[in-house]
Amino acid sequence: MPDGRPDLPLMRRILREPRIIFGLCILGLMCLAAILAPWLSPHNPLEQDLLFSFLPPSWQENGDPIFFLGTDNLGRDIASRLIYGTRTALIVAIVAATLAALLGTILGMIAGFYGGKIDMLISCAVDIWMSFPAVLLSIVLVAVIGAGLHAVIIAIVIIDWTRFCRVMRAETMVQKERDYVSSAVTIGLSRFRILFQEVLPNLLPLLIVLLTLEMGIAIVVETILSFVGLSVASDTPTWGNLIQEGRQYIHQAPWLLGLPVACVVLSVLGLNALGDGIKEVIDPESRQ
């Protein structure tokens, strides 16, 4: 690092970027909802009360303020179910995105840095991988592994490591040609040390951007698999399960579909804005 306090102006730039602020707000809200779910939820998300089924949100006609966002076909409180659903979404987003990043980055760095046969092998695997329709592959994978949260996470990692691998391979190839790498070679550092101690820190900004975007993708994939009925058990409140249930009563109770869709859309928009914002701050050249 050439500068004494390089992070100060960067922090200021980050705080000036509206997309980062928006994204951090959404992410912060999601974390709060996920951690504080038992205290924030007005009701038990699994508690059924058939006397109060299909209540609309409280601001609509016939709405009941006790059930702020209404109830579903079994009289379960939608607000509480949405709050608990945030937990699943966030767990999948963080764990799956991190693992996919880990696998993809290591393979991408090795391919980009060592080149030759190992690069050919990894690149070929990525090409074949990417020629599959991702949605179909994830559905087939989960059907093979068996439904459940771990299966969803494994499926996302198996499919999406390629996103990281491609970008990291290309970026490692760029970094490899930089002067600091030849300097490191000259002073006799091992190739392994150069790769992980010198090159890796320079890949981090890009990695953070990809990671943020991947979190959004992971949330969508979990929703999709819940929707198809291949994620966690259907009595666990997840956004995808809520969407799947809401789809059945679309004319009778459109809020059952609308509210969870709004949650997924907002979180995906937030994470995307965050990723795009960070990309712009760390790499002003990407601006057109």
Partner 1 sequence: MSHSYFFNRLLLAIPTLAGAVTITFILLRVVPGDPIAMMTGPGATEADIAQLRAHYGLDHSIAHQFVLYLGQVITGDLGTSISLRQDVGELIIGRLPVTVELVLIAMLIAASLALVLALTGTFWRDRWPERLVDSFIGVVVAIPDFLWALSLILILGVAIPVMPIFGRMDLTVSFDSWTNFYLTESLLRGEFEVTRSVLHHMVLPAVSLALPLMAITTRVLKSCLNAEMNREYVTLARTRGFSRLKVIYSQALRNALVPATTLSGVQFTFLIGGTVLVERIFGYPGIGNMAIDAVINRDLPLIQGLVLTFAILFILVNLLIDLFVTFLDPRLRHA
User: Using CB under 8 A as the criterion, which residues of the chain lie in contact with partner 1 when the complex forms?
Assistant: 124, 127-128, 131-136, 139-141, 143-144, 146, 216, 220, 223-224, 227-230, 243, 247, 250-251, 254, 257-258, 261, 264-265, 268-269, 272-273, 276, 288
Look-up of token digits 């994620």: 231
**Smallest distance, partner 1 to C-beta of residue 118, A:** 18
Question: In this structure, what token pair is assigned to residue 239?
Answer: 């956004």
| Cα 42 to Cα 81: distance, rounded to the nearest angstrom | 10
Helix (H, G, I), strand (E, B) or coil at 226: helix
Using the minimum distance from each CB to partner 1, give the nearer residue, 31 or 143: 143
Cβ contacts of 282 within 8 Å, gap of 6 or more: 10, 205, 209
Using the minimum distance from each CB to partner 1, give the nearer residue, 126 or 168: 126
| H helical segments located in the chain | 7-16, 18-35, 37-40, 78-114, 116-130, 134-145, 149-176, 179-186, 191-193, 200-228, 239-248, 255-282
Using the minimum distance from each CB to partner 1, give the nearer residue, 45 or 216: 216
Using the minimum distance from each CB to partner 1, give the nearer residue, 111 or 224: 224
**Smallest distance, partner 1 to C-beta of residue 39, A:** 29
**Smallest distance, partner 1 to C-beta of residue 262, A:** 9
**Smallest distance, partner 1 to C-beta of residue 246, A:** 9
**Smallest distance, partner 1 to C-beta of residue 252, A:** 10
